Amino acid sequence: MQNSLKEVRMTKGITQVAMARKLNITSRMYQYLESGHCEPRISQVYKMSQILDTPVEILFPPLIDYSKEAR
């Protein structure tokens, strides 16, 4: 799953270790989530959104651009 976690996290000045602690997961697990090798639980998605003060749609953009299908 493609995501913008790394870019947003770095912009906010938060480390992977800090994110992992706030999510109550290991640093390795957070690395897997950030790299897209593992999909987060919905509860983790919302918590990441809160921690990074960023909408879910920015962190995890939709895979399909529905705006193009409406034409």
Which of 14, 26, 21 lies closest to 59 in space, CA to CA?
Answer: 14
Report pLDDT for 38. Answer: 93
Report pLDDT for 2. Answer: 84
Q: For the chain, how many structural domains are there in total?
A: 1
Report pLDDT for 57. Answer: 93
- The reported pTM is 0.83
Q: 15 CB contacts (<8 Å, ≥6 apart)?
A: 9
Report which residue type is found at 35. Answer: S
pLDDT by residue, tens only, the chain of 71 residues? 789 999 999 999 999 999 999 999 999 999 999 999 999 999 999 999 999 999 999 999 886 666 666 55
Q: Domain limits at 17?
A: 5-69
CATH number, residue 65: 1.10.260.40
Measure Cα distances from 3 to 7, 30, 53 in Å. 9, 13, 15
Report pLDDT for 62. Answer: 81
Tell me, rounded to whole angstroms, the distance of Cα 13 from its chain centroid. 15
